[in-house]
Chains A and B, each alone.
Chain A
Amino acid sequence: MGSLTVTLCGIPLDNPVIPASGTFGYGYEYAELYDINCLGTFSFKGTTKDPRFGNPTPRIAECTAGMINAVGLQNPGVEKVIGEELPKLKQCFHKPVMANVSGFSVEDYAYTCEKLDKEEQVGWLEVNVSCPNVHGGGMSFGTCPESAAEVTAAVKKVTKKPVLVKLSPNVTDIVSIAKACEDAGADGISLINTMLGMRIDLRTRKPIIANKMGGFSGPAIFPVALRMVYQVANAVKIPVVGMGGVSSAEDVIEMMLAGATAVEVGAANLVNPYVCRDIIRDLPEVMKKYRIENLSDIIGGAK
């Protein structure tokens, strides 16, 4: 049997499969269903300096082959995440975890990252400069190269852990933003966050989501995500974590051929809570079918 292992920013992963932030909580809902230690790692729920309730409901709308969410970074705040969630997480997950961080100012990001830097269980910091669902923060940092670079540099100053910057697809030139992050010291890039979308209820003639717009995810966005991963991976020297609509072992391999070192799985978890376990189970057979010996050999293999 071939090898599924990859190395992400110096930390080895048993396999490249990573549940994406916001679809996996802090792990324990899924730990009730299967041993989540089979995962490469997972990216925990986006964490901010202060607790947040998030947006009003409805926060969810369905689309063809996908969904829109406008949760708005609901989380208990970094103090409680460290004090309550991480100790619980430690009971069910024994590998380094990816800490997803959001903020509303450069100082916010640095504050939260500095706190999480001291946590032994955190392997990587995934800095989300791309949340489409909060006003006056999140995505606004990820839509211009200068502010994305500023956040990256500020976070790099307060941590020795590898920093992945998570980018928004809702931009005209994602490559320039990725490069700006790389120049500012990012250790990796993860992309894509959700695409800004909307649905309207024909009966009420109002947007279905209370926040009007939300982040579109699911299999429908896979080709867009793949294209952006390909563009960014060919433009930077740091590793890229690919995500967007991934829901099968074949999708994982396609993302890796486009240049992803590891692959995150998001919306698919919400429909099939076992999907990451199933992908990991299916990978060896799919690799055999396409004559892949070691997964790490195919990263960026599509030219």
Chain B
Amino acid sequence: MKQSLFEIIENIPLTKDVHQMKLSGDTSAITAPGQFVNIRLDGLFLRRPISVCDWDDGALTIVYKVVGKGTEAMRRMKAGTLDILTGLGNGYDMTLSGSKPVLLGGGVGVPPLYGLARRLRAEGKDVSVILGFNTASEIFYAEAFQALGCAVTVATADGSYGVKGFATTPLTGMDYTYFYTCGPEPMLKAVYQATNTSGQMSFEARMGCGFGACMGCSCKTLTGCKRICKDGPVMKKEEILWEA
């Protein structure tokens, strides 16, 4: 974990509610795709945890959905500096992917899979990506995954684009060695049921600190109590305990 100042270099809409922000600064604390950053915003007490979409030496990209005061304030920013904690959470373990991993993203759960896909492709993996959205106008990043050389399938709940259904719909009959997913919890549950291999899922939570101190985002797993911010947000399929 590292606290440092980042400069906003781009903040553009991808869809009506989803925006992409590029920031320059010290990214040395980021060690794995699927980690998140925690952003301090003027006038708001708690930081806002946002997953890292991608990063390189000196710059990082986040993609966020405007849902409340914090993300609305972020949307309005054109330039300036932000106080950001980086290198938070465990991130995805890429060593378990096998040769043909499938990545399933739902809505604003798609972004962290981009940095993961790019790194899996760099290792020469045969990466399939399924992106699930509610409707055609909410789709983002499909071309970006294609540009990495991933086999991309898009599913929309209303059938307005691609396969009609959810991110799990195109999974039937697909050949894959491992899965990685991020999305809303009902989708994660569906992925858990629909997949026939091991895999990793990234969870969302209301957090206090984001670095393991406050116990605000604890959850029960088959391997004991875990903090989503520090021991997660990525959990292995084998350790997940769904609460009723």
Contacts and interface: CB of A to CB of B under 8 A. Distances in A.
B97 to A, nearest CB: 29
A135 to B, nearest CB: 18
B77 interface: no
9 contacts: A29-B213, A29-B230, A57-B205, A57-B206, A59-B206, A59-B215, A63-B45, A66-B45, A71-B216
Contact of A53 (B1, B209, B211, B218): B218
A74 B206 contact: no
Majority DSSP secondary structure for residues of A touching B: loop
A25 B208 contact: no
A211 to B, nearest CB: 12
B103 interface: no
A57 B218 contact: yes
Interface stretch (A103-111, A176-184, A186-194, A268-276): A268-276
Nearest to A63: B45
Contact of A273 (B3, B206, B219): B3
B225 interface: yes
A60 B213 contact: no
Interface string A230-274: 000000000000000000000000000000000000010111111
B178 to A, nearest CB: 28
B207 interface: yes
Contact of B3 (A218, A267, A274): A274
A61 interface: yes
Best-buried of B40, B47, B212, B216 by chain A (most CB within 10 Å): B216
B209 A273 contact: yes
A30 interface: yes
Given A63-B45, A66-B45, A269 B218 contact: no
A35 to B, nearest CB: 15
Given A57-B206, A270-B46, 8 more contacts: A22-B214, A29-B230, A57-B217, A60-B206, A62-B45, A269-B213, A271-B46, A271-B209
Interface string A15-34: 00000001111000110110
A60 B216 contact: yes
Q: List 3 A-B pairs, minimum CB-CB distance, nearest first.
A: A270-B209, A60-B216, A58-B206
A269 B45 CA distance: 11
A69 B209 CA distance: 11
Interface in B73-93: 85
A65 interface: yes
Contact of B213 (A65, A270, A274): A270
